[in-house]
Amino acid sequence: MEPGGVVIATMEGTSSTPMRTKLTLKGPNNNLGIAKYILTQQNLDKVKVYGSATGSDEVHLEKTYTSSEFGSSKTLYIESKPFKPTDPSSQTGTLKLEYQCQLNGNTEKLEDQVKVSLLPVEVRRDEEGGNVTWESLNGNMSKALPGQRMNLKLDASALPQQVVTVTDPNWSVTGGTFADYTATTSRGKKTSLEQADFDQEILHFYWSQPGLQTVTLNCKINGTATTFQTKINVVEPGSSITAAIGQLELLPDGTVRLMSLSGVGIDFYARVDSVATDFGAEGEWQFVQTLHCNDHCVNNQGVVYDYEHNGIWILDSRYPYNEDPDVYSTGQSRTVPDTPEVSWNDVPTITKFSNETKFKMYLMFKPPGESSKWVPLRVLDWDTNFEATKTNGTWSLAPNPNASATTPGSPTFHHPEWTIHFTKDPIYNPQ
């Protein structure tokens, strides 16, 4: 029997390729009289026998063959029913072939048997919490949070290495994924997974996109292409972000400011629900805001100046957006304000300026765990758009200045990225 009496089994609930082991049965060199062959199993209730390597021609045990059906030998293929999480870790028994013939009026018997071990192989997960423990993907291990480090491998530890080899791993994963995300005031960067990351024995990665995701591993077992597939539920924490926005106003000193009755320009109200009940501990969340400018000013000689970072998304001032505290526990609600303003009073030669700024306020989440990473849950878009002109020393706003917000914010799994942050002393360059 190839290889060494081992039949590789799969786990219930996975979509893995069934694997069959070849079994060759041989009868006596000489058939004496009327003969028959009887194939039975002992302690192998999960075993399935087929007449071909890939067909559906199952042979139900016990099976009796006549001499003409059996011939000089019979080749069969052995498969295992899927194991359940509650089953023992393996199953070992015997397949027995009994040869019976009539000789001088008596029934003569010969028998032989082969030991068969049904050994389950499955994709397992380690939560990376101190000691490395690879666990089956059921119960709590079948779900994860966005930003939680995933560590997956094919657990073939039950297979005898001298007769079974696993080679050429290639993983694929559905949903938005990433290898790393780092953020400071100077830089926010997401690192994507490369092909080499998917060709390793162990796959390390993060999900940013919630939903029921599929993990597929293609590999070779003893040179035969095999596929393992399983599902993991990436659970989106409940969250919300809304905003109340004011109006653009021109102050007596020529400053254009976003104002509301509360005294601020825009208030953001946000919350991320508790995750402790399902995941053992609370996570964290924070605000991060980026902006995209199209700002210009004109001096009294008609020279037009452009803001040096027009046309690109940059961080708004600092990371994270709020201060003291800048990070909150899941299960908490928070409100933060923003009151943008523009003034050219300190440059008397400027006689006109225009502002067209888009903002994105992100609700960022980090699950519990030392290796967890920040991921976006929601984003709220808002913008300001106005033009101001100075005539005879007096500033005035052009008609229809606009400030608007798309509220509530919408779900997102796209990380904010930047290499520049906004400062209080922006630089404008002549066209």
CA distance 110 to 32: 12
Residue ranges of the alpha helices (H) in 276-410?
Answer: 276-279
What six digits make up the tokens of 293? 């400018």
The one-letter amino acid code at 343 reads S
Give me the pLDDT at residue 132, please: 76
Cβ(271)–Cβ(239) under 8 Å? yes
Give me the pLDDT at residue 129, please: 59
Q: Does domain 122-179+191-234 have CATH number 1.20.1060?
A: no
Give me the pLDDT at residue 380, please: 98
The one-letter amino acid code at 274 reads S
Give me the pLDDT at residue 130, please: 59
pTM of the model: 0.87
Give me the pLDDT at residue 31, please: 57
Q: Is the peptide bond before 85 cis (omega within 30 degrees of 0)?
A: no
Give me the pLDDT at residue 261, please: 72
In the predicted model, residues of the chain with pLDDT beneath 70 are 1-4, 29-33, 129-131, 162
Residues 408-426 have pLDDT tens digits of: 999 999 999 999 999 988 8
Give me the pLDDT at residue 151, please: 95
Give me the pLDDT at residue 379, please: 98
Give me the torsion for CA of 361, 411, 178, 204, rounded to 10°. Answer: 130
Same fold, 6-120 and 122-179+191-234: yes
Give me the pLDDT at residue 3, please: 65
Q: Where are the beta strands (DSSP E) in 121-192?
A: 122-125, 135-136, 143-144, 149-155, 166-173, 177-178, 180-183, 188-191
Residues 6+ apart with CB under 8 A from 68: none
Domain residue ranges of the chain, discontinuous segments joined by +:
6-120, 122-179+191-234, 239-430
Cβ(144)–Cβ(235) under 8 Å? yes
- Using the Cα atoms of residue 313, residue 316, residue 319 and residue 325 in order, give the sign of their dihedral: negative
Domain covering 6-120: architecture: Sandwich (2.60)
Residues 179-212 have pLDDT tens digits of: 999 999 999 999 999 999 999 999 999 999 999 9
Element (H, E) at 67: helix 67-70
Give me the pLDDT at residue 221, please: 86
Give me the pLDDT at residue 178, please: 98
